[in-house]
Structure 1
Amino acid sequence: MDALCPVCGQPMSWVSGHFHCDADHGDFTQIALCPDCQQPLQALKACGAVDYFCQNGHGMISKKRIQFTYSPYSEE
């Protein structure tokens, strides 16, 4: 699945820990949201795999159901 720029809808490139819009609309951080409550998911990383957990009572979320959104990237 491509990461699409929230400004222009074009595919973004992965650059040094964040996404960059190739049409020069800026840099973005990807946020995984629970499809049921729209709250950010906790990423659980182990042995190269990433699983997602909703801390609002929905438990483990299938990767196929996750909704991704993008916010402006900040180096802070």
Structure 2
Amino acid sequence: MKQRCEACDFPLTLTDSDFCCERCGAHYVRQAHCPECHQPLQVLKACGATDYFCPHGHGLISKKRVEFSR
């Protein structure tokens, strides 16, 4: 499902830190969710790398599998 801007209903673009609307410039915080249990993930940052950990028993989650929502 494509995320849409609340202000102008334009599709949002996912950046490294948030969702951004190219039409009106609005920014929205992004939240990483586990693809297994759909619960929020812990974001682990060290030495320039970003990893995702599910505290609900699914361990480390690959960046390719993370579900992002706002």
TM-score, shorter chain, exceeding 0.5? yes
Q: So what's the TM-score if we normalise by structure 2?
A: 0.73
Matches of 2:15 and 2:37, distance apart in 1: 28
- TM-fit CA distance, 1:63: 1.1
5+ long unaligned stretches in structure 1: 71-76
Q: So what's the TM-score if we normalise by structure 1?
A: 0.68
Q: 1:1-76 residue pairs with structure 2 within 5 A?
A: 6-7=3-4, 8-11=10-13, 18-24=18-24, 26-70=26-70
Aligned residues between the structures: 64
Cα deviation code 1:20-69 (max 9, x no counterpart): 31212732011111000101100011000011000001111111111111
Aligned residues of 1:12 and 1:22 also touching (Cα < 8 A): no
5+ long unaligned stretches in structure 2: 5-9
After superposition, the Cα gap between the structure-2 partners of 1:10 and 1:30, relative to the gap in structure 1 and judged at 3 Å, is: closer
One-letter identity of the residue aligned with 1:23: R
Aligned residues of 1:52 and 1:62 also touching (Cα < 8 A): yes
Matches of 1:25 and 1:6, distance apart in 2: 15
Matches of 1:67 and 1:55, distance apart in 2: 15
Aligned residues of 1:10 and 1:23 also touching (Cα < 8 A): no
User: What percentage of residue pairs aligned between the two structures are identical?
Assistant: 45
